[in-house]
């Protein structure tokens, strides 16, 4: 680690906050809390309602929207229930504001103190843009559940989730560039294989968002085959009219892709691991690969149990957290094979 320790700690603290934010986002989704705040204000939403009158006003506003009118009105939904779901959405947005401050204030300070070289400044400006876009995606997602359908678009949810993962991975990459300033000789075949594995991992994360957005983990709770002992359950074909729609909008189809893609991701990482045996690796490269194999198997098992137990909150959340750790390990390993 070089003299820019403060910059490294700053970037890594951003990674930790993004991890916390995605975790809270997972809780928000799994507790159906995401539509509790029906508007977005940069300043006035910073803290939750502080009086009974303001709570009641927020609850009355919530009652005007589809989630209450079509679902919760039938569930004896009281103010205490509303406060619970409000908390998780508020906390999710609050962490977003904290991330903004944690990024912008030190960034300005490091600029003034000339602690960032031109290359790092460019990367940090990209990160700033990614953070702002992520905030927009969050509201863009919520808005889709406030019109007619009492649920957010699974496409928008997946976009919001996946972009958070990508923002985290890029932040980690920028930090690793500073942590390891000395460039090593690139092992091209392994870098290429690691890039392919990363692409398929991101596709799997996208489909994880689809599964969450469609609640597709609540059906076909069997493994290794789907319901009725079928590899490709007939409901995949019956749900939609075309294969594009079946595999992107049908609950059964989306689950089929997600459970099948898991084998692909595991296979690619194992292939990368065994292919690496032909080369002389540094300790960092070998440790990255070893950890990658362990974590991908843990994630696979978590996915299986999450499905078998019909997505209990703690398992669904653990599965999402492990996906984050898997992406972090994949990013680190690719970085060590690239620079």
- Residue numbers belonging to the annotated binding site for heme: 258, 319
Q: Report the sign of the C-alpha dihedral through residues 71, 77, 80, 81, in that order.
A: negative
Rounded distance, CA 62 to CA 119, Å?
Answer: 46
Residues 6+ apart with CB under 8 A from 251: 214, 215, 216, 219, 239
Query: Do the Cβ atoms of 207 and 258 come closer than 8 Å?
Result: yes
Peptide bond before 224: cis, by omega within 30 degrees of 0? yes
Annotated binding site: 258, 319
């Amino acid at each position: 680690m070089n003299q820019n320790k403060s910059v490294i700690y700053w970037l890594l603290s951003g990674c930790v906050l993004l991890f916390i934010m995605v975790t809270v986002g997972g809780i928000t989704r799994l507790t159906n809390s995401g539509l509790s705040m029906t508007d977005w204000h940069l300043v006035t939403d910073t803290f939750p309602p502080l009086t009974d009158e303001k709570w009641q006003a927020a609850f009355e506003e919530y009652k005007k929207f589809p989630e209450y009118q079509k679902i919760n009105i039938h569930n004896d939904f009281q103010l205490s229930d509303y406060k619970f779901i409000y908390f998780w959405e508020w906390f999710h947005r609050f962490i977003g504001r904290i991330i903004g401050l944690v990024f912008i204030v030190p960034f300005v300070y490091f600029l003034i103190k000339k602690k960032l070289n031109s290359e790092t400044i460019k990367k940090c400006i990209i990160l700033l843009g990614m953070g702002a876009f992520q905030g927009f995606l969050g509201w863009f997602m919520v808005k889709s559940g406030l019109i007619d359908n009492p649920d957010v678009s699974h496409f928008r949810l997946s976009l919001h989730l996946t972009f958070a993962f990508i923002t985290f991975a890029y932040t980690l990459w920028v930090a690793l560039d500073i942590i390891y300033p000395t460039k090593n000789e690139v092992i091209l075949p392994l870098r290429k294989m690691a890039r392919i594995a990363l692409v398929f991992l991101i596709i799997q994360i996208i489909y994880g968002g689809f599964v969450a957005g469609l609640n597709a983990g609540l059906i076909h709770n069997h493994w290794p085959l789907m319901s009725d002992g079928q590899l490709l359950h007939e409901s995949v074909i019956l749900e939609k009219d075309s294969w594009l729609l079946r595999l992107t909008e049908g609950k059964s189809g989306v689950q089929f892709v997600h459970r099948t893609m898991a084998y692909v991701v595991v296979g690619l990482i194992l292939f990368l691991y065994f292919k690496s045996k032909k080369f002389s690796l540094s300790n960092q490269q070998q440790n990255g690969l070893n950890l990658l194999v362990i974590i991908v198997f843990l994630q696979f098992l978590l996915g299986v149990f999450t499905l078998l137990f019909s997505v209990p909150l703690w398992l669904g959340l653990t599965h999402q957290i492990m996906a984050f750790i898997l992406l972090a390990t994949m990013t680190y390993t690719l970085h060590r094979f690239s620079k």
